[in-house]
Amino acid sequence: MTRALKRQWHNLAFSGLILHEILDHPLEDETPQARLKQIGMMTILYTMTQAHQKLTLSNIVEVTELTRSGAKETVDLLVRRGMLKETMVTNSMGRGTARQFEISEEIRQKLSAFTST
């Protein structure tokens, strides 16, 4: 399979997996609007990951043009779902900490299992 076709297949697999995980497993007290925001956010975070961008709250705000609290609200739901893993790192100025995220190992394994078949 060509590299471009394989990448396109991988992107489609990721989109399908994210739709399934979020829409088929709603969190208690979660609105349909919140689920749609999570799907959009995961798509953006996946694209940022593919571009080797760090998934910090500041970078996410810069890319999405959401307010910091708007981005935080959606990202926190994804962390709560277990779709993102959160770690604390030194901020870009070297003084203090920043939240950094990565797509969870569970999601990567599910995606890997899907795309290898």
Position 114 scores a pLDDT of 64
Phi, psi of 8 (to 5 degrees): -65, -40
Question: What's the pLDDT band for 10 if we cut at 50, 70, 90?
Answer: confident
pLDDT at 25 over 70: yes
Mean pLDDT of the chain: 90
What pLDDT shows up at residue 96? 81
**Residue 95 above 90 pLDDT?**
no
What's the mean pLDDT in 84-96?
Answer: 83
51 neighbors 59 (Cβ within 8 angstroms): no
User: What distance in Å separates the CA atoms of residue 112 and residue 67, rounded to the nearest whole number?
Assistant: 33
- Residues 64-73 have pLDDT tens digits of 999 999 999 9
Instruction: Please check whether residue 86 is in contact with residue 72, taking contact to mean a CB–CB distance below 8 angstroms.
Output: no
- Percent of residues, the chain, with pLDDT higher than 70: 94
Single-letter residue type at 2: T
